[in-house]
Each structure stands twice: as C-alpha cells, then as structure tokens.
Amino acid sequence: MLKVKLPDASVLEFSRRVRPVDVASQIGPRLARATLAAEVDGTVVGADSALPEEGEVSLRLLTAKDPEALAVMRHSAAHVMARAVMRLFEGVQLAFGPTVDNGFYYDFLLDKPISEADFPKIEAEMARIVQEDEPFERIVEPREKAIVLCADLGQTLKVEHIREGLADQETVSFYRQGEFIDLCRGPHVPSAGAIKAFKLLSVAGAYWKGDASAQQLQRLYGTAWFSKQDLDDYLKRVEEAKRRDHRVLGKQLELFTVDQAVGAGLILWLPKGAVVRRELETFIYGELIQRGYQPVYTPVIGRVQLYETSGHYPYYADSQFPPIEMQDGDRYLLRPMNCPHHITVYKSKPRSYRDLPLRLAELGLVHRFEQSGELSGMIRVRGFTQDDAHIFCTDDQVADEFRGCLDMTQFVLKTLGLDDYRVRLSFRDPSSSKYVGSPETWDRAEAALEAVCREMSLPNLQVAQGEAAFYGPKADFIVGDCLGRDWQLGTVQLDYNLPSELRFALEYIGPDNRPHRPVMIHRAPFGSLERFVGMLIEHFAGAFPLWLAPEQVRVLAVSEKFEDYARQVQGRLAEAGLRVSGDYRPEKIGAKIRSAQIELVPYMLVIGGREMEQGTVAVRDRIEGDLGAMGVEAAIEKLKQEIRTKAVRKKS
RNA sequence: GCUAGCGUAGCUCAAUCGGCAGAGCAGCUGAUUUGUAAUCAGCAGGUUGUGGGUUCAAGUCCCUCCGCUAGCUCCA
C-alpha cells in the first residue's frame, strides 16, 4: 500500500505498483497526457519512474506550466539534438549534454567542424525526430555491462566517464529513443513531442571535463520552449538585451573607446565617460573619508622583488606584463595588485595597536595580461582601476571591519539602484592543501564571515566551498551583464598570507608591549571602475541618473531669434554648476529634441518667444516629456535637488 | 591561449554566379527661422583589416597574419 500526498493535501492510495503518470491517470486523462515529469519528495523524476510500493510519498505532477518541467524538456531537447547530429555526421562521440539557463548544450567529438551553416539541417532533423514523437525509455544496467555497451557503441568518452566519473556507482542509467541510446541520469519527458519550439543558437569549443590540456570538443548551444510564442519572446528579450551592450552604447554615447594602436583591453575614457567616472570617484572618496579611510597615492610599478615577496611573481607570471629590465639589471613590474604598495605604506613606520584598524585607500591602476580570448569591452580588460583599500586590523576587529566593508558595498550598489546582485561567500576546500594559515584560523574566519553575512541578510547569499583565494575567505558581489554572464564587482577578502612571516611579516605593538601580527582585509566596492561603469551602462541602458549624466541639461532655442536669451540661460545653469550645453543649430525644435533624446540628455530646456518674454524656460524631461514652463531659478533648484539625492528615476 | 564565426565610408548596412564599390545616418556648405522625437538641396567621405596567391578580371575564391565576437580554459 502506497499513500501519495498531492500538493492540494489530498491523498491517494494505491495497492499496486504505480508511476507518477498512473497517478495522473487516476486524476484524469488530460492530466495524464499533460504530465511531463514529477517531483517526488522534492526530487524531479520521470513521469514513468516507478514509485515505491509501500509507505508515503509527496508527489507533484509537473506539466508545461512548471519551470522544473522546462528544464527536463530542455535536457530531452539536448538528446534530440545529439540524435540529429549522429544521424547527419559520421563518427560522433558524445560527451555531456546538460540543461543550462534558458536552454541546453551538447558536447561532441567529431572530425568535421560544425558551423552555423549546418544548423538548418540539424534543426530540420530535430524537427523530424520531434514529429516522430518516440518515447524516451530508461534502461538501468550494472556498471560493467554499461561499459561494454558504451564500448560497443564506440562511445569512448562515455566509457571513460563510467570508469572514472561514475566509479562509485553500481548501476548506471541510459535513455533510449529509437536508434539513439545515451548514458544519462535523466529524467526526460515521456516523448520527444513535448519539445514544442527550439532553436540552435551557437557553436563553440569546449574542453573535455573542463581541462584545457584535454582535447577540445564542439559544443552546440540551443534553446527550447513549450511554445513558439515563448521561443519568440525569449529571442526578442535577447535582442533587446543586446541593445544595452555597453560596448555598443559606449561607442554611441562616446563614453570610452579601445584602439589597437594603444592595445587590446586598454580603455581610453572619452570626455563623457570620464565625467561618469569622476562623479563616481568623488562619491566614493566622500564615503571613504566618512568611513575612516585614509587615501594614499602609490606608483603603478614596483620592483620585481616586491612581488616575489608578495608571491604574485612568478606565480601569476603568465597573466602579467613581463618585467621591465633596466640597464643595471634592476627589474620593475607593472603592478598587478596594489596591496604590496599599501603594505609598504603600513611598514613606513612602527605601528601600535592604537593605529588599528588602519584603512588605506587608493583608486589604484593595475595591469594584468589577460588572455586575448577573455577580453570584453570594459568588463574584462588588461588595465583597470580598483577602488582598492587595505584594512590592517587585529583578529578581534575582523568581524566589525568585514561588516563595515559589506555595508559600504551594499550602500554603493543601492545608491545606484543596482539591486539585482547576489553575494557569493567563498570558503576553502577542506580537502586541499593549497591554503595558507592554520585550519583553526580558517574555521574561525569563515564562521565569523558567515555570521556577519547572515546577520546582514545579504541577497541571494550562497556559500561556495573551495572558491576561496589561497590566502583567505572572501565575499564577492556578483552582477549579470546584458548577455546573462555573471561578473564579480565588489569584493571583500580576508588575507592571512601577506602579513605573515613568509611574506611581509607585518607587526604592530600590542597593549602588552609585544609584537603581534595584524590581519589584512582587501576590499573594493566597485571592483574595478572600468567593469563597474561597463555594468552601469548596461544597467541604465546608457541613461544615467542626473548626477552621473555627462550632459545633464541642454538648452534648445526654438529659433535663432531666441539665441541670446537661451545663451544667458545656459550661462546661468553653468554658473549653478550644472553640466549644460546649448543647441543653436538652424534646425526645427523637433529635430533638436530628437537629438537630445537620442543622446539620452536627462533634461531639455526649450526656449522660444514665450519664455523670453516671461523670463522662464519650458522644461522637458527625457522620461516624462514636457513639464511646462517655470522660472530659470526654479528649474535649477529642481535639477540640483535631483542631483543631491542621487535619484534613480525610471519610466513610471 | 583554444574552437567557431565575422572584418566594406565615422556609424548601420547593400553589392546576384567572380564583371564599373553603393545607400541611409553622422560630417561639411548653402537655403530655411522653425514650439516638444527627423526642413530641403548640394558636397565630401574607400588601397573593401594586412600581406600574398588563383584569374582576363577578386569586396566576393585560396593561404598568412592582425583585429573583433561568442563559448571554453583562466581570473591574485
């Protein structure tokens, strides 16, 4: 006897062995047909997987309405794609084919390169398979037999995976669909007909098991949905997101440029982009001072020895610009990190516990030679400015300082209306020996950090075991770009390494008149100004809040007859400290408005005969349109108020 | 770095089968004097990323290099 609890709290009883699809039939034939998978005690399984004979389970039948079913269907779509590829190409070896956000991929090993030109015929073959609507059949085999089966199928990658990756499994499962059989954990939808709309998206290289020294496979990405409408909506969303691309907007709005004459991954901030950056810098410096940081300035190069001491050289030599060698043999490194310089500032005099916590801040320009394939606009570059600071404190102060750093980072993100972020708390992998410091210290630090994070109720907090830097645990603030890629912005990292005896042997004199070792915290709320501004451009789709806008307001003269008065108004706004320009071209007012709208100028002041007579301006808001006439001083006060509050306005 | 794709005017793109490199926007000049998202006309703008090859003829086909894009690997 099996008791099946359904989400509506009703209970069904079965004396025979049943599957979720049988439970669905019991409720109704339409539900049975719509059931694509099931969630049994919280685990997603296939609709035809047998439920236990005895006891009680809670069961949720999953249909096209449930997001879990979408993931199951996409996994099935990956199989269908693999089946199509195997029908069309000779000697295809299958690797892995999982579901990912918004779609799926499958990795193949085959001699012939697949290109996008092959997509139509693969898609056509997939459509045929979906049309045939054959069932997915689960087959469970003992491990040894599975190895033989895969070997017979010529699937050597799968053989390797069963031997190594699944070494601890007694049995493994396959899914068969017609002539196609694939090692797979499942689950799958009942049959291919559940895949209603799909599209291949791209082909790329991928390494077998993520190992760059292993052979490279061909990865085919696709997306699949339960309706053509959903698919079209998705493709449209992707297109719209691409219009926010900071590389496109950065060029259109003249914010930054990259030129191979200077070098790949090296950002040239154009005047308008420089305004945004300068405003952010002013903002961040104000915060730093308020929060007890002391700005310092240090050089962008340092002797190689310094980085040997810090351990950055030669450990990261592959991703550094090689040292500059002088005639006398002295070698200098373009700094990849600011910390050694700040440590040198710390060491510039003996420190007492009364100096701690010592918070040294600098917008520090660093250079790293990132691999060419990694470079991406302002987001992944070879020269960038960290809004860096290093806090030197006692063990007891770590939690408070850590909290202060998180608080500042949150404050910065909130001020900019960036609330779609997640926080990743990276801890060590206890089974690895690559970490500095004793396990006890790590445990204590990790516990303290997690406690602070929980107490601050950070959004989407997740703990990532094994993601810590070798020198200490860290908390990263992660934001997605317009293509859905996640990037680290702000970061707060504990460091037991650099202060240690092995490295810089930092000390302070304690109340006991004896030397003690300080702890270091690295922190950067923006991460890098380059990446942060890149993300901001995408976040605002180029339409910055007033306080950041390169051009805050533009005076538009209705005709040249009113130019003199308009110029007076422009002068008055400039005097008031606003970033203002004037459009005095012999154009119609509609054309001037259009230019200003396209250039995303937040406010326009239209000036014609009426305004000149009455000494007013007609204010046009980029978002809301015409706001009507008001006095010049009233308009200035309105804008200044919005700047003071750093308001983030969106279309209402 | 690896795999694949793409490089045509400042920008967005066109150029059939290999057959005279073109359009819109931006720019410049002139006319127009304008009331809330594009006034009209003219002019100028190119070694088709680079170097080589095939051909009577190359933007188009082949090779090299450079750059860009996506993904993979990396990210102190």
pLDDT in tens, A214-224: 889 999 999 99
End-of-domain residue from the set A63, A89, A114: A63
Side by side, the strands of the sheet bearing A580-583 are A580-583, A553-557, A603-607, A616-621, A625-631
Do A597 and A498 share a domain, yes or no? no
pLDDT of residue A31: 86
Query: Are A205 and A78 part of one and the same domain?
Result: yes
Chain B nucleotides reached by a protein CB under 7 Å: 1-5, 11-12, 31-39, 66-76
Clarify whether A390 is annotated catalytic: yes
Q: Which two tokens stand for residue A591?
A: 């054309």
Q: pLDDT-derived band of residue A430, with 50, 70 and 90 as boundaries?
A: confident
Q: Please state, in angstroms and as integers, the Cα–Cα distance from residue A112 to each residue in A85, A104, A283, following that order.
A: 12, 22, 55
Identify the domain boundary among A42, A63, A84. Answer: A63
Q: Domain check: are A217 and A350 in the same one?
A: no
Active-site residue (options: A150, A184, A339, A405): A339
CA angle A313, A307, A316 (to 5 degrees): 25
Residues A136, A47 share a domain: no
Structure confidence at residue A33 (pLDDT): 87
Has A386 been annotated as catalytic? yes
**A621 residue type, one letter:** D
Longest dimension (CA), chain A: 93
CA–C1' nearest nucleotide, residue A497: B76
Report cis status (omega within 30 of 0) of the bond before A135: no
Q: Based on the fold, state whether residues A278 and A190 are members of the same structural domain.
A: no
- Give the model confidence (pLDDT) of A304-357 as tens digits: 999 999 988 888 888 999 999 999 999 999 999 999 999 999 999 999 999 999
pLDDT at A652 over 70: no
pLDDT given for residue A105 in this prediction: 96
Least confident range of A57-61, A318-322, A610-614: A57-61
Q: What is the pLDDT of residue A52?
A: 83
As a whole number of angstroms, the distance between CA A102 and CA A119 comes to 18
User: How long is the CA A41 to C1' B2 vector, in angstroms?
Assistant: 43
CA of A469 vs C1' of B53, distance in Å?
52
Q: What is the pLDDT of residues A2-17, one digit of tens each?
A: 888 888 888 888 888 8
Tell me, what CATH number does A74's domain have? 3.30.980.10
Tokens of A179: 């002539």
Per residue in A558-583, pLDDT (tens digit) is: 999 999 999 999 999 999 999 999 99
A496 and A585 in a single domain? The answer is no
CATH number of the domain at A439, please.
3.30.930.10
**Does A6 reside within a domain?**
yes
**Which nucleotide, over all strands, has the C1' atom closest to the CA of A610?**
B35
Active-site pick, A380, A390, A428, A592: A390
Q: Cβ atoms within 10 A of the Cβ of A313, count?
A: 20
The pair phi, psi for residue A568, each rounded to 5°, is: -60, -45
Residue A362 domain flag: yes
Nucleotide with minimal C1' distance from the CA of A379 is: B75
The closest nt to A613, taking CA to C1', is B35
% chain A with pLDDT above 90: 71
Q: Which of A539, A566, A601 is the last residue in one of the domains?
A: A539
Q: Confirm whether A522 is a catalytic residue.
A: yes
In a domain, A546, yes or no: no
- Cα distances from A648 to residues A249, A274, A546, in angstroms, run 19, 20, 8
Is the ipTM beyond the 0.90 threshold? Answer: yes
DSSP letter at A114 equals P
Q: Is A474 a catalytic residue?
A: yes
Is A453 annotated as catalytic?
A: no
Gap between the Cα atoms of A518 and A172, Å rounded: 52
Distance, CA of A239 to C1' of B51, in Å: 37
User: Does residue A648 carry a pLDDT above 90?
Assistant: yes
Say what the pLDDT of residue A190 is: 92
Residue A246 lies in a domain: no
Q: Can you give the distance from the CA of residue A252 to the C1' of nucleotide B6 in angstroms?
A: 21
Nearest nucleotide (CA of A369 to C1'): B75
CATH number of the structural domain spanning residue A9 = 3.10.20.30
The closest of A59, A27, A19 to A43, measured between CA atoms, is A59
Strands A474-480 and A486-495: antiparallel
Is A179 inside a domain boundary?
yes
In whole angstroms, what is the distance from residue A362 CA to residue A524 CA? 10
Based on the fold, state whether residues A167 and A233 are members of the same structural domain: yes
DSSP output for A374-438: G-BTTTB-SEEEEEEEEEEE-GGGHHHHHHHHHHHHHHHHHHTT---EEEEEEE--TT-----S-
Nucleotide minimizing C1' to CA distance for residue A374 = B74
Instruction: Please give the Cα distance from A318 to A558 (Å, whole number).
Output: 59
Nearest to A597 by CA among A630, A554, A627, A533: A554
CA of A12 vs C1' of B25, distance in Å? 68
Same domain assignment for residues A52 and A81: no
Query: Is residue A313 in a domain?
Result: no
Please state, in angstroms and rounded to a whole number, the distance separating the CA atoms of residues A191 and A486. 34
Q: Does residue A193 share a domain with residue A119?
A: yes
Q: pLDDT band for A593, please (50, 70, 90 cuts).
A: very high
Same domain (yes/no): A216, A153:
yes
A647 Cβ contact list (under 8 Å, min separation 6): A545, A546
A310 within domain boundaries:
no
Same domain, A483 and A353: yes
Nearest CA to the C1' of B73 belongs to which residue?
A212
Structure tokens at A126: 């997939």
- The domain in which residue A49 lies consists of 2-63
Please check whether residue A141 is in contact with residue A152, taking contact to mean a CB–CB distance below 8 angstroms. no
Nucleotide nearest to A598 (CA to C1'): B37
Question: CATH number, domain at A633?
Answer: 3.40.50.800
Integer distance in angstroms from CA A368 to C1' B65? 25
Among this protein's residues, is A388 annotated catalytic?
Answer: yes
Q: Which pLDDT tens digit goes with each residue over A481-503?
A: 988 899 999 999 999 889 999 89
Judgement on whether residues A214 and A348 belong to the same structural domain of the protein: no
Phi, psi values for residue A188, rounded to 5°: -130, 165
Burial class (CB in 10 A: 0-12, 13-18, 19+), A381: buried
Q: How many domains does chain A have?
A: 4
In Å, what is the separation between the CA of A51 and the C1' of B11?
62
Distance of A531 CA from B6 C1′ (whole Å): 25
Instruction: Tell me the pairing of strands A43-46 and A37-40.
Output: antiparallel
Active-site annotation holder among A522, A523, A539, A622: A522
| Separation of alpha carbons A492 and A533, rounded Å | 19
* Other residues' Cβ atoms within 10 Å of the Cβ of residue A60: 17
Domain assignment present for residue A73? The answer is yes
CA of A277 to C1' of B70 (A): 29
